[in-house]
Structure 1
Amino acid sequence: MTAEEATALVACFGPDDCYGVAWTLLHLIETGPNPVLTTRPPQDGNEWHLGLWQRAVNAGLVTDGSAE
């Protein structure tokens, strides 16, 4: 998985988990060399983008500047 491929795949998330496909997509994106999301998604954004962001924060790959 290249950074370019991971960036392209992040746009494939829909409003639901698509019978589990979204989890597979999330794990595939995470195999890329860098975090795809480098800024926090909007609070009302796609739940999968928010999840990817939180997982990157938890792993110490990005800093969440808006943390309270």
Structure 2
Amino acid sequence: MRPEVQAFVDAGPLPDEDATEEDIQRRTDEFLAIARPVTGEEARALLACFGPDDCYGVAWSLLHLIETGPNPVLTVRPVPDANEWHHRLFDRAVNAGLVPPS
């Protein structure tokens, strides 16, 4: 795994929208350091980085980054109480015809 991806993953989930501007900017800067595309291993590791909301759009960018890797990352429907972003990734893979609906 590339160091910039590992650093982003090690920093944990994205903060919520109540985080300080500095925290959000730090995570955004870490995110922007990651060159596209990502590997399958990196895409799977990045799944753990979704936070409780869209973090001022950073979560959408993270979703798109994950989708630059070998798809699909999620091949089975996430459990009902999984992070909403995991559900979105899976639904997008279904809609793209990459995995069957389950």
CA distance in 2 between partners of 1:14 and 1:60 (Å): 27
CA distance in 2 between partners of 1:34 and 1:53 (Å): 10
Identity %: 75
TM-score by structure 2 length?
0.61
CA distance in 2 between partners of 1:33 and 1:42 (Å): 22
* Cα deviation digits, residues 1-46 of structure 1 (max 9, x gap): 1000000001100110111100000000001012111110012221
* Aligned residue-pair number: 65
- 1:23 is aligned to 2:60: yes
| Equivalence map 1:21-60=2 (5 Å) | 21-60=58-97
Q: Give secondary structure in 2 for the equivalent of 1:39.
A: coil
CA distance in 1 between partners of 2:80 and 2:56 (Å): 24
TM-score by structure 1 length?
0.89
Identify the range of structure 1 (33-42 vs 21-30) with the bigger mean alpha-carbon deviation.
Answer: 33-42
Unaligned stretches of 5+ residues in structure 2: 1-37
CA distance in 1 between partners of 2:95 and 2:75 (Å): 14
Q: Give secondary structure in 2 for the equivalent of 1:42.
A: coil
Stretches of 4+ moved more than 4 A in 1? none
- Which amino acid letter does the alignment assign opposite residue 16 of structure 1? D
Unaligned stretches of 5+ residues in structure 1: none
CA distance in 2 between partners of 1:11 and 1:38 (Å): 16
CA distance in 2 between partners of 1:38 and 1:51 (Å): 12
